[in-house]
Structure 1
Amino acid sequence: MSKTWKKYLLWFAQEHIAFRVAEIQALLSLYQIEIKYQEVPKYNDPFWIVEFASEEEAKLVASRSVSLRNCLELWAHEKSLEKLHETLKNKEKTFYSDFSNNKSFKVEVETFCRHFTQKEKIEKIETFSYLPLKGPVNLKNPELHLQYIEYYGTRANDPPLKPYHVFFGRLVANGLRQLIKQLSLKTRKFIGNTSMDPQLSLLMANQARVKNGDLVLDPFVGSGSLLVAAAQFGGYVFGSDIDYLMLHGKTKPTRINQKVREKDESVKANMRQYNLEHRYLDILVNDFSMVFWKDSMKFDSIITDPPYGIREATERVGTTRENFLINEKYLPTHIPAKTEYGIPTIYRDLLNFSAKHLQIGGRLVCWFPVFREDYTEDCLPAHPCLKIVANCEQPLSMVTSRRLLTYEKLKQPVLEDLTIMDNRITDFREKYFVVREVTRKERRLKEAQTRRDKWEIYKNLHKVN
Structure 2
Amino acid sequence: MPSRYLFHFAQVHTDFRLPELQSIAELHSIAYTLPENQDDRDPRRPFMVVELEGEEQARLLARRCILIKAVYEFYAQGSTYEELHAANKLSEPLWTRYAEDTSFRFLVSSSHHKIPQSRQREVMESFSYMDFKGKIDMKNPEIILLCFEEYEERHDKTLAKYEGDGDFRQVFFGRLIEEGSARPLVGKFDVKKRVYYGNTSMESEISLLMANQTLASPGKLVYDPFMGTGSMAYPTAHFGALVYGSDIDGRQMRGKQKKPGIIRAATQYGTASQIIDLATFDVTHNPWRCGELFDAIVTDPPYGVRAGAKRLGRKRELSERQRELCLQHSISPRPDDQPYIPPTKPYELSHLAVDLVLLARYLLKPGGRLVFFLPTVTDEYEEVDIYSMLCDGMEVIANSLQDFGSWGRRLVTIKKTTSKKYDPPTFEPVQPKYEEPVHVPAHKDFREKYFQGFKPKSSEEVQNAVNTEAEGSQ
TM range (shorter): 0.7 to 0.9
Which of 11, 14, 18 is the matching residue for 1:14? 11
The corresponding residue for 1:274 is: 269
Which of 5, 10, 35 is the matching residue for 2:32? 35
Distance in 1 of aligned mates of 2:189 and 2:392 = 37
Which of 406, 414, 438 is the matching residue for 1:407? 414
Task: Note the 1:42-441 alignment, pairs <5 A.
Answer: 42-89=42-89, 91-92=91-92, 94-118=93-117, 120-156=119-155, 157=157, 160=164, 161-175=166-180, 176-250=182-256, 266-296=261-291, 298-319=293-314, 320=316, 322=318, 323=323, 324-325=326-327, 326=329, 327-329=332-334, 333-380=339-386, 381-398=389-406, 400-411=407-418, 412-415=420-423, 421=430, 423=432, 426=441, 428=443, 430=445, 432-433=447-448, 436-437=451-452
Distance in 2 of aligned mates of 1:87 and 1:385 = 48
Distance 1:293 1:332, change over 3 A: farther
Residue identity opposite 2:175 in structure 1: R
SS in 1 for 2:97: coil
Deviation at 1:35?
Answer: 1.3
Residue identity opposite 1:339 in structure 2: K
Distance 1:416 1:315, change over 3 A: closer
Contact 1:344 1:427 in 2 (8 A): no
Distance in 1 of aligned mates of 2:228 and 2:136 = 50
Q: Which runs of 5+ in 1 are unaligned?
A: 251-261, 441-465
Distance in 2 of aligned mates of 1:354 and 1:218 = 11
SS in 1 for 2:98: coil
Contact 1:62 1:70 in 2 (8 A): yes
Distance in 1 of aligned mates of 2:201 and 2:64 = 22
How many residue pairs end up in the alignment? 425
Deviation at 1:300?
Answer: 0.4
Q: Which runs of 5+ in 2 are unaligned?
A: 434-439, 456-474
- Judge which range, 343-352 or 216-225, deviates more: 343-352
Residue identity opposite 1:376 in structure 2: E
TM-score, normalised to structure 2, is 0.82
Residue identity opposite 2:390 in structure 1: A
Contact 1:383 1:417 in 2 (8 A): no
Per-residue CA deviation, residues 90-143 of structure 1 (Å, 9 max, x unaligned), is 554x54343235322211222011112445434433433443333322323322
- Judge which range, 337-346 or 44-53, deviates more: 337-346
Deviation at 1:38?
Answer: 3.1
CA-based RMSD of the aligned residues comes to 2.7
The corresponding residue for 1:253 is: none
Contact 2:254 2:261 in 1 (8 A): yes
Contact 1:343 1:426 in 2 (8 A): no
SS in 2 for 1:23: helix
Per-residue CA deviation, residues 21-54 of structure 1 (Å, 9 max, x unaligned), is 1111112222222112233312421221121111
Residue identity opposite 1:155 in structure 2: R
Distance 1:274 1:119, change over 3 A: farther
SS in 2 for 1:98: helix
Distance in 2 of aligned mates of 1:27 and 1:144 = 26
Deviation at 1:228?
Answer: 0.9
Distance 1:105 1:427, change over 3 A: closer
Distance in 2 of aligned mates of 1:119 and 1:232 = 45
Deviation at 1:365?
Answer: 0.4
Contact 2:402 2:408 in 1 (8 A): yes
Residue identity opposite 2:403 in structure 1: P
Distance in 2 of aligned mates of 1:215 and 1:206 = 14
SS in 2 for 1:63: helix
Residue identity opposite 2:394 in structure 1: L
Deviation at 1:331?
Answer: 6.5
Contact 2:381 2:442 in 1 (8 A): no
Residue identity opposite 2:244 in structure 1: F
Per-residue CA deviation, residues 342-387 of structure 1 (Å, 9 max, x unaligned), is 2233223211111111000000001112112221122222111210
Residue identity opposite 2:56 in structure 1: E
Distance in 2 of aligned mates of 1:431 and 1:66 = 30
Distance 1:86 1:59, change over 3 A: same
Distance 1:239 1:118, change over 3 A: farther
Per-residue CA deviation, residues 203-225 of structure 1 (Å, 9 max, x unaligned), is 11111211221101111011111
Per-residue CA deviation, residues 300-323 of structure 1 (Å, 9 max, x unaligned), is 000001011221121123334532
Contact 1:35 1:51 in 2 (8 A): yes
SS in 2 for 1:328: coil
Distance in 2 of aligned mates of 1:210 and 1:187 = 23
SS in 2 for 1:289: helix
Distance in 2 of aligned mates of 1:422 and 1:401 = 28
Contact 1:368 1:405 in 2 (8 A): yes
Deviation at 1:278?
Answer: 2.5
- Judge which range, 290-299 or 121-130, deviates more: 121-130
Distance 1:124 1:379, change over 3 A: same
Deviation at 1:393?
Answer: 1.2
Contact 1:384 1:417 in 2 (8 A): no
Per-residue CA deviation, residues 235-290 of structure 1 (Å, 9 max, x unaligned), is 1111111122221213xxxxxxxxxxx77571111111111122221221111110
Deviation at 1:401?
Answer: 1.5
Residue identity opposite 2:139 in structure 1: K
Distance in 2 of aligned mates of 1:9 and 1:129 = 22
Residue identity opposite 1:374 in structure 2: E
Contact 1:59 1:172 in 2 (8 A): yes
Residue identity opposite 2:22 in structure 1: Q
Distance in 2 of aligned mates of 1:121 and 1:303 = 46
Contact 1:389 1:408 in 2 (8 A): yes
Distance 1:14 1:174, change over 3 A: same
Contact 1:287 1:316 in 2 (8 A): yes
